[in-house]
Amino acid sequence: MQQTTAIHMLESLASGIRLDIYRLLVKHISAGLVAGDIAQQLELPATNLSFHLKNMTQAGLLSVTQQGRYQRYRANLPQMLALIGYLTEECCGGEASACLDFSSLMYCAGQQCDTPAQTISET
Amino acid sequence: MQQTTAIHMLESLASGIRLDIYRLLVKHISAGLVAGDIAQQLELPATNLSFHLKNMTQAGLLSVTQQGRYQRYRANLPQMLALIGYLTEECCGGEASACLDFSSLMYCAGQQCDTPAQTISET
DNA sequence: GCATTAATTCAAGATTTGTTGTAGTATTGA
DNA sequence: TCAATACTACAACAAATCTTGAATTAATGC
């Protein structure tokens, strides 16, 4: 990963609204959400949401597919994994796995999930 | 992790200089580096480096220990892991490990490494 | 064709951020 | 005590970012 790519991703995520958008889309990793749904769930004006969605898409955080007049957004998890790899590169002199401990974390990565995430329960 | 904490970490990392600092300190995960060494390796004026180190420390990305008149900085990897957990929370409806694939990544996490990283070879 | 809905683009103002130079604090060693 | 070193704090200007409202494009259904 290039440095500029990482910066764009981090800049994009470093905003309360965009962080909410990203985390919401991670919860709906397989199906994604259309812009209107996101606007409704996060109570954002369409104009402002559109600004942030464009920002995140250009940063590579999200992918978009058009469905008629709807735009369906999804979190780009492989790209997030690449960012994490960039951030932790060359740790322990290249022997990264030497001090790895992810057991207590709740992740979801690799390719898209095959198990659809339909249960929405954000407080 | 609170949202404000995550934002501060991401804001802090979303800068070319601070990203370089962080990655450099990840390479020296166990021993860390004093401010002067960082300034020398990244060719930064002391004033500017100090500004960024303070920013990163306040964001929780780095830890500092005083050694005489030197300040030794280290990357706070557990905090980075917490951030990653926050970003990927509730993926796949809570069944995060269902679609996990970290095999191709180079990580270093958990507590500090026990194997010192002395080999410095940034191009 | 025409009205409606979904989403984006554009311009403008307020806020925030980054860099630099100067000054200041604190530790070291003679 | 004095000078040198390591690092930090402050002020100020230039640059980038966020939000909002009005206008625009595109797809749908009658």
Identify the residue among A91, A119, A120, A122 best suited for mutation to test binding to B, counting B beta carbons within 10 A and taking the highest.
Answer: A91
Same domain for B70 and B39: yes
Instruction: State what percent of residues in chain B have pLDDT above 90.
Output: 49
We report the CATH number of the domain holding residue A30 as 1.10.10.10
| Selection from B76, B73, B28, B41 nearest residue A92 by Cα | B28
In this complex, the answer to whether residue A47 has its CB under 7 A from any atom of chain C, a nucleic strand, is: yes
The answer to whether the Cβ–Cβ distance between B23 and A93 falls below 8 Å is no
Average pLDDT on A4-23 reads: 94
Q: How many domains does chain B have?
A: 2
Instruction: Write out the residue range of the structural domain in which residue A108 sits.
Output: 98-123
Residue A7 has pLDDT above 70, yes or no: yes
Nearest to A106 among B88, B109, B116 (CB): B88
Q: Of A54-58, A104-108, B28-32, where does mean pLDDT reach its minimum?
A: A104-108
How close A61 comes to chain B (CA, Å)? 12
Question: Which spans in chain A are helix H?
Answer: 3-13, 16-27, 35-42, 46-58, 77-87
Radius of gyration of chain B (CA): 16
Same domain for B39 and B74: yes
Mean pLDDT of chain B: 76
With respect to residue A90, please indicate whether it lies within any of the assigned structural domains: no
Same domain for B74 and B21: yes
Same domain for A17 and A68: yes
- Residue partners of A38: CB distance under 8 A and separation at least 6: A21, A24, A25, A44, A49, A53, A73
Same domain for A51 and A104: no
Q: What is the pLDDT of residues A24-52, one digit of tens each?
A: 999 998 899 999 999 999 989 888 999 99
Q: What is the pLDDT of residues B58-75, one digit of tens each?
A: 999 999 999 999 999 999
Looking at beta carbons, which residues of chain B come within 8 Å of A114? 98-99
Q: What is the dihedral of CA B113, B84, B93, A80, to 10 degrees?
A: -110
Q: Of A2-6, A115-119, B66-70, B95-99, where does mean pLDDT reach its minimum?
A: A115-119
| Selection from A23, A17, A109 nearest residue A55 by Cα | A17
What is the three-class DSSP state of A87? helix
How close A72 comes to chain B (CA, Å)? 18
**The residue to which tokens 């180079």 are assigned:** B106
Distance CA A55 to C1' C5 in A: 24
With respect to residue A47, please indicate whether it lies within any of the assigned structural domains: yes
Instruction: State what percent of residues in chain B have pLDDT above 70.
Output: 74
Identify the residue among A9, A10, A42, A86 best suited for mutation to test binding to B, counting B beta carbons within 10 A and taking the highest.
Answer: A10
With respect to residue B110, please indicate whether it lies within any of the assigned structural domains: yes
Residue B97 has pLDDT above 60, yes or no: no
Q: Of A111-115, B36-40, B85-89, where does mean pLDDT reach its minimum?
A: A111-115
pLDDT at B35: 93
Nearest to A3 among B7, B10, B16 (CB): B16
- What token pair was written down for B73? 């900085």
pLDDT at B37: 92
Question: Global pTM?
Answer: 0.80
The answer to whether the Cβ–Cβ distance between B26 and A87 falls below 8 Å is yes
With respect to residue B88, please indicate whether it lies within any of the assigned structural domains: no
If one compares A21 and A101, the residue with the highest pLDDT of the two is: A21
